[in-house]
Amino acid sequence: MQWLVLIHVLSAIVGVGPTFFGHVLVRTNQTPEQLRHSLKLAGRLDFFPKVGGTVAVLTGILLIALNDYGAFTQLWLVGSLVLYVLIQIVVIGFVAPSQKRLAQWVFDEANLHAAELPGDQRDVLARANSLLYVASAMGLALFVFMILKP
């Protein structure tokens, strides 16, 4: 059973961990050149939440099924699942489209030599950055639920 806990914890770190770096990569005071580099790195990090998050959910379900953690309706269990789903909604539903929009602009050949982002792109960047802070806060709360469970 310890190996399952180990896999669950490591996959949770790998799955949620990149969320904590997202707002660093999508910071608002970047030049278009810096943002191009940041978006490339963010694209590489996208792999980890997909795999790690999936493994974390599956191993979490196994842990609940194989152990006596009590009723499924406990706050830490339901809260953990709700937070995980909300993080996915924020990142996949709102941040990813914003990053895609930014990428379309910064990787467009007409903008390769731009010195700064235009106002509408700065607004998209600021919104994505704010949402990544929200996802990071939820990720922190998720880890608190997991650590402080009864």
Number of Cα atoms under 13 Å in the Cβ half of residue 62: 15
pLDDT at position 19: 82
pLDDT at position 150: 65
pLDDT at position 50: 84
Terminal CA-to-CA distance of the chain, rounded, Å?
A: 18
pTM of the full structure? 0.85
pLDDT at position 97: 95
pLDDT at position 43: 87
pLDDT, mean of each 10-residue run, the chain (150 residues): 89 86 88 94 87 89 83 80 89 92 95 93 96 93 83
Note the pLDDT tens digit of each residue in 58-69.
Answer: 998 898 888 877
pLDDT at position 99: 94
67/60 Cα distance (integer angstroms): 11
Domains in the chain: boundaries: 2-147
Note the pLDDT tens digit of each residue in 99-109.
Answer: 999 999 999 99
pLDDT at position 74: 79
Buried b (16+ CB within 10 A) or exposed e, 41-67: ebeeeeebbeebbebbbebbeeeeeee
- Mean pLDDT (the chain, rounded): 89
Rg (CA), the chain: 18
What is the CB neighbour count within 10 angstroms for residue 87?
A: 23
